[in-house]
Amino acid sequence: MADDYSLFINGKFKETREKQKVINPSNGEVIAQVSVAGTPEIEEALQAARDAFDNGPWPRLSLKERKEFLLKISQGIFDHASELAGIESQNTGKPIKEATFMDIPSAAKTFEHFANNLEKYLEAEKIEISAETKAGAKLTREPIGVVVLIVPWNYPLLIASWKMAQALAAGNTLILKPSSLTPLSVLELAKIIDAAGLPKGAVNIINGSGSQLGEALCSDRRIDMISFTGSNEVGKQIVNYASQAVKKLTMELGGKSAAIVLKDADLEVAVNSLLCAIFLNQGQMCTAMSRIFVEDSIYEKFIADFTAKAKRIKLGNSLDFETQIGPLVSETQRKKVIAYVEKAVKQGAKLLCGGKIPVGQDFKNGFFFEPTVLGSILSEMAIFKEEVFGPVACLSKFSGIEEAIKLANCSEFGLAASLWTKDTALAEDLSNRLNAGTIWVNTYGMFYNELPYGGFKQSGFGKELGREGFLEYTRLKNMVLDRSESGKPLVSYWYGF
């Protein structure tokens, strides 16, 4: 029997007549029915969030009270961690081990971090202006207002928690729209938020397809900011909607991240880590190291080790703790990945392993695809340029550092990159030359609440996390104070009166 989920608007759970089925991608079974927002629910959420910001308590609470609420949400996530991990794993297909050790605790810790740091991050700054102007200024950070948060299906709870924790810590009210493929964990979070007793209207969560809800939400004048994570295609549409009523935007978009493995790298560390960097969450990661460049003298050894280990990665039902790769999120996503692999092979890529739908009873009704390794990738190929968002590693070799940098930077995207070398001075130098917002050296995928994260070029603009990410959800006000000894500033006698 599938569970029923309602929307969360103005402090109430609201069931709608229109319902949508949510599928478990491991076996194709329906696991839940979720209410879908129509025009009345969008209107209700917009008005509730606006009223809650303009007249409600949330933006007016003391910072200490705000902090207490956020800590309660964090604790609520920790208290329901195993239940949330199960739901996230069943809904997305990500292995339960990943949901348990990564997504859920990280979501809780993000609320905790912004609760504990909001006072520090919001501290007003006093500025001394040049001596002869005899003026002082104070810079203060205010909440922006009503924020729409739109999140993708690959890390539904985690990315929503990043955005919610920052937006709420800054004093905004919000409307969250999850992907209609994966709305369950954030609707569970709504229950935690409700139990924490947040003022009504501060958080509103509505479900529905982006193409149906997007324009109404993103072009409305009651909205002050949109924080979006998703594809470039949808990102561009949102920029258009937002232009109808000038809004602040942050855009976390796609990626085609590069790993550079130099000949002095610890080969075992590089191989093992890069397997994770492309196969975790079935490769459905915006920062997936989907292009791996290996120095020519170690290329053959690298591909032999990488391919041998890729073949050993265990596919299975996402709820099995032994599973290392679960199904892709949907049949549509699987078809897209298969088409990319087939096209790459036609264009001359060498299929080193995978490339097929696994056979067997366990995989019959799910959206599984084998971990795939392609060699001899060239920069002209579509798979070099476009985001696949699946378990497909693309390997090529380079000769010399200049070529490595050129290949890595040869992309419209600029989200992340990684460097594998024992020479840390060289790594710092190369890091300065890489056109990407995050560079990992001898590691991968480390996100810290203290560190701002965000891409360059077509990977978007704005940051998430850290002080800089948090400040995206604020507006900066300056107050200038005359301090002339006479008490008469220039403006008061300019006309000679």
311 C-beta neighbours (distance < 10 Å), count: 13
Q: Is 226 left (phi over 0), alpha (psi -120 to 50) or beta?
A: beta
Structure tokens at 119: 């006072």
Task: Answer whether 44's CB lies under 8 Å from 10's CB.
Answer: yes
Asked if 253 touches ligand NAD (CB under 6 A), the answer is yes
Binding mask 333-362 for ligand NAD (x = CB under 6 A): ------------------------------
Considering the complex, state which of residue 271 and residue 338 has its C-beta at the smaller distance from ligand NAD.
Answer: 338
Total Cβ atoms within 10 A of residue 443: 12
Nearer to ligand NAD, 92 or 307 (CB): 92
Cβ proximity to ligand NAD: between 271 and 415 the closer is 415
Q: How far is the CB of 485 from ligand NAD (least distance, A)?
A: 53
What length does the chain have?
497
**Bridge partners for 143 per DSSP:** 474
Q: How far is the CB of 212 from ligand NAD (least distance, A)?
A: 8
List 395, 415, 417, 436, residue binding ligand NAD (CB under 6 A): 415
> Could you say which of 27, 100, 172, 229 contacts ligand NAD (CB under 6 A)?
229
- Whichever of 25 and 316 has its CB closer to ligand NAD, that residue is 25
The residues annotated as belonging to the active site are 252, 286
By CB under 6 A, residue 231 contacts ligand NAD: yes
Least gap, CB of 455 to ligand NAD (angstroms): 6
Which residues 73-112 are close enough to bind ligand NAD by CB under 6 A?
none
Q: How far is CA 121 from CA 67, 138, 437, in A?
A: 12, 15, 22
Give the dihedral of Cα atoms 102, 73, 450, 167; nearest 10 deg.
120
Q: How far is the CB of 175 from ligand NAD (least distance, A)?
A: 12
Q: Which residues of 113-123 are buried (b: 16+ CB within 10 A; e: fewer)?
A: bbbebbeebbe
**Among residues 73, 234, 249, 407, the one that binds ligand NAD under rule CB under 6 A:** 234
| Interface residue with ligand NAD, options 214, 326, 327, 466 (CB under 6 A) | 214
At its nearest, how many Å lie between ligand NAD and the CB of residue 318?
18
Q: Determine the size of the site formed for ligand NAD (CB under 6 A).
A: 31
Find the helix packing angle between 104-122 and 156-169, rounded to 10°. Answer: 20
Query: With respect to ligand NAD, which residue has the nearer C-beta, 186 or 265?
Result: 186
* Among 387, 397, 438, 462, contact with ligand NAD (rule: CB under 6 A): 387
Task: Compute the least distance from the CB of residue 389 to ligand NAD, in Å.
Answer: 5
Beta carbon nearer to ligand NAD, 214 or 391: 214
Show the site string, 141-180: x = touches ligand NAD by CB under 6 A, - = not.
Answer: ---------xxxxx----------------------xxxx
CB proximity list for 450: less than 8 A, separation 6 or greater:
113, 465, 466
Minimum CB distance to ligand NAD smaller for 36 or for 253? 253
The reply on whether position 247 binds ligand NAD by CB under 6 A is no
Amino acid at 151: V
Which position among 210, 366, 390, 445 is part of the footprint of ligand NAD (CB under 6 A)? 210
- Candidates 192, 238, 341, 352; binder of ligand NAD (CB under 6 A) is 238
Residue 258 found at the interface with ligand NAD (CB under 6 A) = no
411 binds ligand NAD (CB under 6 A): no
Q: Which of 255, 375, 462, 469 binds ligand NAD (CB under 6 A)?
A: 255
Residue 395 beta carbon to ligand NAD: minimum distance, rounded to whole angstroms: 21
HSE, side-chain direction, 13 A CA sphere, residue 62: 3
User: Nearer to ligand NAD by C-beta: 209 or 442?
Assistant: 209
Among residue numbers 279 through 338, which ones bind ligand NAD (CB under 6 A)?
Answer: 286
Q: Which is nearer to ligand NAD, 56 or 455 (CB)?
A: 455
For the purposes of burial, counting CB atoms within 10 Å of the CB of 313, is it exposed (0-12), middle (13-18) or buried (19 or more)?
A: middle
Closer residue to ligand NAD in complex, CB, 179/411:
179
- Annotate each residue in 435-474 with x if it binds ligand NAD (CB under 6 A) or - if it does not, as one string: --------------------x---xx--------------
Q: Which of 159, 198, 176 is nearest to 59 (CA)?
A: 198
- List residues binding ligand NAD (CB under 6 A): 150-154, 177-180, 209-211, 214, 218, 229-231, 234, 237-238, 252-255, 286, 387, 389, 415, 455, 459-460
